[in-house]
Structure 1
Amino acid sequence: MGLDFESRASDSPFVERVWLSRSSEVDTMMSVAASCWDLVVCERRGQVSVVVHGPESRARMAPVPEEATFFGITFSLGTTMPHLPAGRLLDDEVELPNATRRSFWLKGSAWHLPGYDNAEEFVRRLVREDVLVRDPVVDAVLRGEPPKLSARTVQRRFLAATGLTQGTARQIDRARQAAVLLREGTPSLEVVHRLGYFDQPHLARSLARFVGRTATRLGAGDTAEPLSLLYET
């Protein structure tokens, strides 16, 4: 019962994760903050929907369709669709039209529905057709090699490509990493030191904002409501 997740990493620079999920006897979940955006295919009772789900700036309760299956591609930070930028989708989503079990409509064309095993092939086609791009400024920042631009220009480009400031993106990813460590049984004080939090209250505030769980609940494996996909980066 709840949400079952299966996921894998990807060798594509455009993709952070590929995942599958199934819901059973659950109608809500805690949607954890995420710096990346997803393309999500949902099938329920023979009906298919395709949604572009934007980055999330904080944890929130979200509805879950009952007895549904989901397939998702989580795109890496800095990957964007220029006609549907992540900045416009922050804490929001857009359902793509004309979705069937075979295809859906994106940027004026019909596209074959991707799957877990051919996600990278689908992404390569998006790149070839200029539907999907990566911002080189974000790439440089993530490599720790800031480009020779003003700090204000870099921040503006980062915000436009990701929907988040550099600081917020770092805070979200650190909180998600902390949640993974706590669920694995790592003591909260060790998490504080390992991830560079000031102290345990600082960790607690971060978890409350971005994960919607306390360190104690995460460590105890509390399953009052399922969490959205968490994975070790």
Structure 2
Amino acid sequence: MALENENRTSDSPYIERVYRSEGAITAARMRSVANPNWELVIWEDRGRVHAAIRGPETRPTTVGYIPEGRTFGIVFAHGTSMPHLPVPRLVDSAVLARHATSDLLVLRGQEWELPDYGNAEDFVEHIVRAGILVRDPLVSDVVAGDDVPKPSARSVQRRVVAATGLTQGAIRQIERARQAAVLLAEGVPALEVVHRLGYYDQPHLARSLTRFLGRTATELQRPDPDEPLSLLYENLP
């Protein structure tokens, strides 16, 4: 069975996106591209269920082993965090859940019904009420570029880093590179991508793509079936 991907946005202020995939990738490896959000990912491999909290990724990496079962993930919105697992400690890293079954997931010593693609919002609401997941609305608004009253720039930057593990500038650079990859894969010419996304010139775009995706514009326009990229999606619904 070929790999089937599905993803959606969410009305929850705590969730950026929910995704799932099922099937098998015929390629021997996959390129995991930079991602400014942290996430909860649950996957089934050889009949066993695993779960992990995966932090933001600031660089592309090659994944040599790809599970053949189902995968489900909740990508959390900027500004959300789990106080017992500070996001800055998770950058370019992950923490495996010690106890995960086909029915249950343990977070901060408490058992929760294993979430799925259809009830992600209910799961998140429950762990918010339990104090496991919190949100800093100021960080959400600042990263989104909203014009809101804010304290000093230094104070805002500290709060952004504490909640996301990254600076506001790093988040914008990664998100822009991911959006550029989507546009290039859709056939948009590189020069138009430069103008549309505000790069200085094509060399600037090229450096960004190499740094965050490990691909050139030409390679993104001609995908390599032997090393597919991890999930990319439009920034807007």
TM-score band by shorter chain is over 0.9
Preserved CA contact (<8 Å) 1:26 1:64: no
Output one character per residue of 1:184-217: Cα deviation in whole Å (capped at 9) or x when no partner. 0000000000000000000000000111111001
Q: C-alpha separation between the residues in 1 aligned to 2:5 and 2:20?
A: 6
> How far off its partner does 1:60 sit?
1.3
Shifted more, 1-10 versus 80-89: the winner is 1-10
CA RMSD, Structure 1 to Structure 2 (Å) = 1.5
Q: Which residue in 2 is equivalent to 1:26?
A: 27
Tell me what 2:17 maps to.
Answer: 17
Cα distance, 1:146 vs. partner?
4.7
Aligned to 1:145: 147
> So what's the TM-score if we normalise by structure 2?
0.94
In the alignment, is the contact (CA less than 8 A) between 1:103 and 1:112 conserved in 2?
A: yes
In structure 1, the gaps of 5 or more residues are none
Structure 2 equivalent of residue 64 of structure 1 = 65
SS in 1 for 2:138: helix
In structure 2, the residue matched to 1:85 is: 86
Residue in 2 that maps onto 1:218: 220
**1:97-117 Cα distance to aligned partner (Å, 9 max, x none):** 111100021011011100011
**Structure 1 residues 2 and 37, CA gap change in structure 2 (3 angstroms):** farther
Residue matched to 1:55: 56
Aligned residue in 1 for 2:184: 182
Deviation at 1:130, TM superposition (A): 1.2
- 8 Å contact from structure 2 (residues 44, 67) kept in 1: no
Tell me whether 132-141 or 180-189 shows the greater mean CA deviation. Answer: 132-141
Contiguous gaps of at least 5 residues in structure 2 = none
- Give 1:223 deviation, angstroms: 2.5
Specify the SS of the correspondent of 1:24. Answer: coil
* Paired residues of 1:3 and 1:226 also in contact (CA < 8 A): no
- Give yes or no for contact 2:39–2:74 (8 Å, CA) kept in 1: yes
SS state of the match for residue 10, structure 2?
Answer: coil
Pairs within 5 Å for 1:129-168: 129-141=130-142, 142-168=144-170
CA distance in 2, matches of 1:180, 1:64: 25
Counterpart CA distance in 2 for 1:95 and 1:6 is 24
- Deviations 1:73-104 (Å, cap 9, x if unpaired)? 11111111111121110000000111110002
Q: For 2:78 and 2:39, how far apart are their aligned partners in 1?
A: 11
Matched, 1:114 2:115: yes
Q: Which moved more, 1:143-152 or 1:191-200?
A: 143-152
Corresponding residue for 1:94?
A: 95
Distance 2:149 2:131 in 1: 24
How far apart are residue 139 of structure 1 and its match?
2.3
Residues 26 and 66, structure 1, Cα contact 8 Å, conserved in 2: no
- TM (normalized to structure 1)? 0.95
Q: Give 1:64 shift.
A: 3.2
Which region of structure 1 is more displaced relative to structure 2, 40-49 or 136-145? 136-145
Which amino acid in structure 2 is aligned with residue 118 of structure 1?
Answer: N
Of residues 132-141 and 96-105 in structure 1, the stretch that sits farther from structure 2 once superposed is 132-141
Comparing 72-81 with 198-207, greater Cα deviation is found at: 72-81
1:65, CA displacement in angstroms? 2.9
Q: Which moved more, 1:31-40 or 1:212-221?
A: 212-221
Bigger mean CA offset, 143-152 vs 120-129:
143-152
The one-letter code sitting in structure 1 at the alignment partner of 2:56 is: P
Shift of the 2–201 alpha-carbon distance from structure 1 to 2, 3 Å rule, reads: farther
